[in-house]
Chain A
């Protein structure tokens, strides 16, 4: 066990604190993206299924563009376009009060929310269209309103059907937050890279991987619990 004595515990402590600071940013990006993109995706999915043709094509076109281009590109456009094209860089927007890292964070957050809402909207659409017509008709002949049928009858069945693909997207989101480092968001991979550059240390990269793995283990466990909770009925 002599190698234990060779470890520079001060260095380990320093790296841990740095990475934890970055991970806070990662978690913020992750949770805020989920909280806003899950409901926004439902709005988009209603748009892609709308009976109003212009609206339907507009939303479908938008979803196509977002799903058809790299998230990295969308991040760069949202964060840099206001400054380059309109002379109004995010960092100087009044709402951020001169807080540069907040400006980058919220710029990146906007890109993540829009991108994930589009993916979620397609998952919702698939889930909603998978519900048998008979369920709507059963609600109709019982005198329910359209919104009652959707919220009281259809939604729970949709949620059960879409949990696995939503879990998939959520795990992808955990890892995609790393892209935010390209627009100066100081999330965990940004911090690991800083350490790599300044201290010439390679092992913090593996340490960073452990953060993602542990967090995704938690995400997987939560979705497993949710699926088990909904297993009492079959759609």
Chain B
């Protein structure tokens, strides 16, 4: 069974149809790269998956469980939507770290709030609470080690480089152990010399039980790391397949001209 099934997503802003019927599935452990020119709808698609935008139509299932159905979405409570979106994690283009907290607190904050809510519900004692908080902290330190920033745990975001900020943002998104981790152009806000460290971290996260969706302009990265590539244009999936299929044997004329246009700038 696929971990993610998206069926006929549509979305318009006013008169502009940004998504015109998006269908795809993703298997557990796969990395999906979504490419396409600006305005093709790829970021909107990612935001729909993360409940930051509400599609006008369509359905979405994760692990077979229906998380979104345009017909029923309005009936859902805020709490229900909050719980459903936790199946996804999102790393933003502009990091969006919380500036007033240390790196460690950025990573632990959401988990602490969620656990507090749960512990309050079961009237847990102080000792149990401390144990849980300790666990959250340890997990955060492990994640910091994963992104190679253990020594920055007590730093503030304004003391880090852009690449380091994005690595912290990745650790923060991983803290709640989402089923599917999404990246919205994770290197677009970075200086060219800093993109490498972030892409290496993302590549390092690839494992059999971690599913990722990366919206990116880095063609080499999409080619090298993704298991599946989607090329989007004008709100539809123009081409979908393995990197070899999409990059070396594109079926559609649009995909070919998009890839060629990119090549003209490679010296």
Contact = CB atoms under 8 A, between A and B. Distances in A.
A141 B174 CA distance: 12
B110 A142 contact: yes
A140 B85 contact: yes
A234 interface: yes
A143 B82 contact: yes
B229 to A, nearest CB: 24
Interface in B71-112: 78-79, 82-83, 85-86, 88-90, 92, 94, 96-100, 109-110
Interface in A113-153: 132, 134-135, 137-146, 148, 152-153
Contacts of B36: none
Nearest to A230: B100
B92 A233 contact: no
A233 B78 contact: no
Interface string B117-161: 000000000000000000000000000000000000000111000
Interface string A145-173: 11010001100110010000000000000
Q: For A138, A141, A156, A235, which residue has the most chain B Cβ atoms within 10 angstroms?
A: A141
Contacts of A234: 99, 158
Contact of B92 (A134, A145, A152): A134
A144 B92 contact: no
A9 interface: no
A152 B101 CA distance: 10
Contacts of B172: 142
A17 B83 CA distance: 64
B4 interface: no
Contacts of B86: 143
6 contacts: A138-B97, A138-B98, A141-B50, A142-B172, A233-B157, A234-B99
Interface of B: 50-52, 78-79, 82-83, 85-86, 88-90, 92, 94, 96-100, 109-110, 113-114, 156-158, 172-173, 176
Interface of A: 132, 134-135, 137-146, 148, 152-153, 156-157, 160, 232-235
